[in-house]
Amino acid sequence: MKVLTTWQKFQLFYHGILGNGDRRTNKWPLVSSPVPIISIFLCYLLIIWVGPKLMAKRQPVYLKPVLIVYNFGMVCLSAYMFYEFTASAWLARYSLLCQPVDYSNSPNAMRMARVCWWFYFSKVIELSDTIFFILRKKNSQLTFLHVYHHATMIFNWWAGVKYVAGGQSFLIGLINSLVHVVMYLYYGLAALGPSMTKYLWWKRHLTSLQLLQFFIVTIHTTYNLFADCDFPDSMNTVVLAYSISLIVLFSNFYYRSYLGRKTTKTQ
């Protein structure tokens, strides 16, 4: 009996990753292989490492027009995705409790798969948030939470589009798209300048909304993980672990930004 080398085992594993995906989405951009998204991830880390060093002795880059267009553009894209997730799920009569993936080429199934891809691609676009921080020398914004959230979402949704482009994972995209409409609206208004500051009192509520989405996803995924539902338990397990990690990180951010600061001022 021939013993496989480590390299041969890796090749079998890699080909298994490529061969077991959703055939409908396999040829779509950034989907067929993990290599492109891994390359983007490595470039992202390189920019985070090198960027602040290159900007150390330079003046912040003036990006006001770019930020206004970018943020309001993301509002429009997020609103479009929210509509498509909602319409696709409604027309296909999706269940909120248990919804298997429809791997057929029916119009509704393909519509849901396409909006899943757009959601995945939007996470690649959102890596620009970090680049803008670096160019504006807002290095205090490059927290572990920021980098972790942006870097991991691209991998989570690569796997989502590669293997489960639809089904119950639609709820994550639907809720997150709605939250991002609000979030990028906030950033877009903030980019307009100091004159908008008096209208941006609701930043704390934005963080609360972000936390709420993670609690909803956690409850929804926990139910599906233990229910008899024709959806991969492996995907549910990853989503559950990830959503719990975000609850912990965002709760810590909320405490430090609002509750901890309030306590300090009181003292």
What are 197's two structure tokens?
A: 């500051």
pLDDT tens track for 206-246: 999 999 999 999 999 999 888 888 899 999 999 999 999 99
Tell the residue number behind the tokens 């057929």, with chain if given.
104
Q: Which of 15, 146, 149, 150 is catalytic?
A: 149
In whole angstroms, give the CA distance from residue 267 to residue 263. Answer: 6
pLDDT tens track for 10-36: 666 556 666 678 899 999 999 999 999
Long-range CB contacts for residues 256-264, cutoff 8 Å, separation at least 24: 257/204, 257/207, 258/204, 258/207
What does the pLDDT read at residue 37?
A: 96
What does the pLDDT read at residue 97?
A: 87
Contact 219, 171 (CB under 8 A): no
What does the pLDDT read at residue 20?
A: 73
What does the pLDDT read at residue 104?
A: 94
The parts of the chain modelled with pLDDT lower than 50 are 267
What does the pLDDT read at residue 17?
A: 65
Q: Is position 149 annotated as part of the catalytic site?
A: yes
The pTM score is 0.91
